[in-house]
Structure 1
């Protein structure tokens, strides 16, 4: 199966094509798919892997669209993304040493986005809301969706949605947090292609960091953890729970003190994680 490096579908932005060609040319990614409009980049990537349309020689492979009409978040939630913002997914092979704990992948992806944004757009500072949200200026800037695909080879698809130039209005948000855009926080226009280049490169690099020095990645998350030392609530097995967040453990689980007990909560166990007023 031969690999086409950048596959174009529809009338796409030439700046996006140049960004993808740069990533491929620098061997950050192997191949790319770029479409004018798509329901979900994660869905397309997962389907391609399951149907055998792509294989190991194509990976890492990035999926990008100018307009995502039905993006997905955790627990079936919708991610709203228009042409001013950024929606993309990267299909990765999973390193054997990391295959047993995808919880760390969510930690690493959040750290990669945070570090890339802080480096490229200083002095902006980020916070990471376990398990999969990136915050700036007191509101949600980005979301992460990671899906494992084991049908052909052990792979994962990392979906990223970032509010670059606009943020959804309050009535369109179901997760209880105000949405913020990078442009509004900086007080200037921001090129989403600049954001894509910086974030995609760091996402690739952090896979190596996670294999070689996972503790440094975990520590980077801890320094930005939005929930640490705050009383939080969450849904677990259909019931509302609450406790004091003590940060994350070395496997990426959330540590919550409930009475005399400290519980470890995995991302698959908890939903609607929020800071209590």
Structure 2
């Protein structure tokens, strides 16, 4: 086990977060790609976790990539039907739950009050992206929920190109500290599990927090669903997790798609 992720930390995550397997790597092209490539094996030991300190070919939504340098926290959690109280047909709401869980985890760790959520689940700090989340449902012996997350933690972006610094930030750039990555991981996993239990039927309990942290509320945004483009003023989300957009023809509920301007 690596120094950055000592064996006692792995055992603590298995015990307190209830994971059957925590697979730790110093570097991977992508934790999600590794998880999916070995899904048949991992599905025999759910819930399972793949963790890496650095990934070189991380995946975002669509064709986007997520590069995470040395000192980042990147991981993919694999959950079966028995590992979350959220029914399989409601698994898409786990995307928003994951975003809130990570936002709350980072707030508690850093005591910063400038974290925000960009629908559905990107986490921003001081107006710049600090965490990306990709939730996918795959089928092995049973349906598997794969939650891939990359957090800029100790991988400072102070020396990154100006265009990168304008868009992204790391925790250490704000706190001036080096953070213990397993602590963040365990904090997220336990908060995610608690939020799933609290929001089994709807996102009602989660709604006030998301609304108060919504990066897009009050902004003019443009979304794209398939070939359809919708533009208007964002009004937050509803209890189903849909993005609310006031358009010239009335309020629209956006349940999926990409935000292309904001």
TM-score (structure 2 length as normaliser):
0.88
2:226 is the counterpart of 1:237: yes
Identify the residue that residue 150 of structure 1 maps to in structure 2.
139
2:73 is the counterpart of 1:106: no
Q: Give 1:170 shift.
A: 4.7
- Paired residue for 1:186, among 172, 175, 179? 175
Identify the residue that residue 81 of structure 1 maps to in structure 2.
68
Q: Report the CA distance shift for 1:273/1:250 in structure 2 as closer, same or farther (over 3 A).
A: farther
Cα root mean square deviation, aligned? 2.4
2:13 is the counterpart of 1:26: no
Write out aligned runs for 1:219-230 (5 A). Answer: 219-230=208-219
Q: Give 1:105 shift.
A: 1.0
3-state SS of the aligned residue for 1:75?
coil
Q: Give the unaligned 5+ runs of structure 2.
A: none
- For these two proteins, the number of residue pairs brought into alignment is 258
Q: Report the CA distance shift for 1:71/1:220 in structure 2 as closer, same or farther (over 3 A).
A: same
Q: Report the CA distance shift for 1:194/1:274 in structure 2 as closer, same or farther (over 3 A).
A: farther
2-structure distance, mates of 1:131, 1:224? 12
Identify the residue that residue 3 of structure 1 maps to in structure 2.
none
2-structure distance, mates of 1:258, 1:177? 29
2-structure distance, mates of 1:102, 1:247? 20
Identify the residue that residue 195 of structure 1 maps to in structure 2.
184
Kept in 2, the 8 Å contact 1:107–1:218? The answer is no
Identify the residue that residue 45 of structure 1 maps to in structure 2.
35
Q: Report the CA distance shift for 1:247/1:14 in structure 2 as closer, same or farther (over 3 A).
A: closer
2-structure distance, mates of 1:192, 1:27? 15
Kept in 2, the 8 Å contact 1:39–1:68? The answer is yes
Q: Give the unaligned 5+ runs of structure 1.
A: 1-7
Kept in 1, the 8 Å contact 2:99–2:133? The answer is yes
Write out aligned runs for 1:107-146 (5 A). Answer: 107-146=96-135
3-state SS of the aligned residue for 2:38?
helix
- Paired residue for 1:68, among 41, 55, 67? 55
1-structure distance, mates of 2:17, 2:189? 12
Identify the residue that residue 54 of structure 1 maps to in structure 2.
42
1-structure distance, mates of 2:90, 2:163? 33
Identify which range, 86-95 or 182-191, moves more after superposition: 182-191
Task: Please give the per-residue CA displacement for 1:192-250, whole angstroms capped at 9, x wherever unaligned.
Answer: 23322322322233322232773112332222111112111233334654211111122
Kept in 1, the 8 Å contact 2:31–2:75? The answer is yes
